[in-house]
Amino acid sequence: MQINKKMTEKTNIRIGVSVGDLNGVGLEVVMKTFADERMLDFCTPVLFASNKVIAFGKKQFGIDFAYNGIIHLSSIIEHKINVMNIWRELPPIQLGIPTPESGKCALESLTAAVSALKEGAVDVLVTAPINKKNIQSEHFHFPGHTDYLAQELEGESLMFMVSDELRVGLLTDHLPLKDVVKNLNQELVEKKIRLMETSLRMDFGIIRPKIAVLGVNPHCGDQGVIGDEEEKIVHPVIQKLYNEGILVFGTYSADSFFMSDYKYFDGIIAPYHDQGLIPFKVMSFGKGVNFTAGLSKIRTSPDHGTAYGIADKGIADESSFRQAVYTAIDIYRQRIENEELLANALDTNSLDKGFLSKEKGD
């Protein structure tokens, strides 16, 4: 995913960054991404961590990293890396080992970044990976970022994996497989398809997006022989939305769809997590981004997890995190452009009405 030329028009987009689980690769990929000074030509990163954490990262990973340490968001300097100090002391960091302390710090970084996003101190949010187990607490009882952000920000959420070649959204995301069918209903299917269609138009600039819906069962149920969720739940919704003018098609059998059919669609709806993410990661790993569509604010993240196994080796690839930054900025730009087009259309309508009134008066 290449950064839009439009990004050069405004060069002070503020990227709020939560550093994730400090014992994973999050800190490393964040620092490697913004150590490239070219990134500062089109964005202003604000990392929610501390000077001592960054000093640890510089020494551990051998990264040359100049930054502006701040204790108030009002002190952000444009085109510089800003580190918002949310911890006075260095948290206990044990690379490669999930601990209660690293989960606590991940939540503190996330909540501080989300607060800044809601206040408008940063424009978009890019999140480094968390551990879904050790982050659990009385303040966080969600299966992941997506559900937490759906509570904190306005709108309905869609877990949307995007790359240059592929965009896959999920009907159900972090849900045990045994519960997938229990949670499928026509209302959910309709909501998620509408969210994807709106996002493809408003966030990606696709005027008439084409959407494919994958089947729930093997071979889409083989006309009810292997399952009837397609016939009873999914197909009626597809027909209803198609009749409204939404270009949605399906269902398609997932076992063959990703061989070639995916190329004909702008977005793909998969009923459950692994059905959509396995082909996505095989085809887009390192280039893919997790985007939480449907919310009033923009949030992206890399398409990988904490990767504890390599966290102390200094070999983590920052490509996906960098793509997450690019995607967040692209979507921010697209939304601004949409707002300007809408405002211009409203101005034109008002002007036309003025001329018409004048003509009638004459």
Structural domain ending residue among the three candidates 237, 255, 286: 286
The reported pLDDT for the residue numbered 7 is: 40
- Residue 232 DSSP SS3: helix
Residue 328 belongs to domain with CATH number = 3.40.718.10
The reported pLDDT for the residue numbered 353 is: 55
Terminal Cα-to-Cα distance of the chain (whole angstroms): 55
On whether both 143 and 129 belong to a single domain, the answer is: yes
User: Could you give phi then psi for residue 353, rounded to 5 degrees?
Assistant: -65, -35
**Of all residues in the chain, what percent are helix, strand and coil, respectively (each to 5)?**
50, 20, 35
On whether both 277 and 296 belong to a single domain, the answer is: no
The reported pLDDT for the residue numbered 225 is: 59
pLDDT tens digits, 221-252: 657 756 788 899 999 999 999 999 999 998 99
pLDDT tens digits, 27-86: 999 999 999 999 999 999 999 999 999 999 999 999 999 999 999 999 999 999 999 999
User: 87-96, 216-225, 328-337: lowest mean pLDDT where?
Assistant: 216-225
On whether both 282 and 295 belong to a single domain, the answer is: no
Determine the angle formed by the axes of helices 26-35 and 51-61, rounding to 10 degrees: 80
* Owning domain of residue 169: 165-286
Token duo for residue 287: 């280039």
On whether both 23 and 152 belong to a single domain, the answer is: yes
146: which residues sit within 8 A by CB, 6+ positions away? 157, 159, 173, 174, 292
On whether both 186 and 142 belong to a single domain, the answer is: no
Could you give the C-alpha distances from 13 to 68, 109, 127, 244, in angstroms and in order?
17, 20, 16, 37
The reported pLDDT for the residue numbered 195 is: 97
- Residue 237 DSSP SS3: helix
The reported pLDDT for the residue numbered 222 is: 58
The reported pLDDT for the residue numbered 6 is: 44
Structural domain ending residue among the three candidates 286, 304, 335: 286
Structural domain ending residue among the three candidates 286, 311, 331: 286
On whether both 132 and 206 belong to a single domain, the answer is: no
Is residue 184 within 8 A of residue 271, CB to CB? The reply is yes
The reported pLDDT for the residue numbered 221 is: 60
On whether both 77 and 143 belong to a single domain, the answer is: yes
On whether both 22 and 141 belong to a single domain, the answer is: yes
On whether both 211 and 181 belong to a single domain, the answer is: yes
The reported pLDDT for the residue numbered 217 is: 83
User: Could you give phi then psi for residue 115, rounded to 5 degrees?
Assistant: -60, -45
pLDDT category, 354, cuts 50, 70, 90?
low
Query: What mean pLDDT comes out for the span 197-219?
Result: 94
On whether both 1 and 132 belong to a single domain, the answer is: yes
In terms of residues, how long is the chain?
Answer: 362
On whether both 313 and 352 belong to a single domain, the answer is: yes
Domain count, the chain: 2
The reported pLDDT for the residue numbered 5 is: 44
Could you give the C-alpha distances from 131 to 85, 153, 315, 329, in angstroms and in order?
22, 21, 20, 26
On whether both 154 and 171 belong to a single domain, the answer is: no
pTM beyond cutoff 0.85: yes
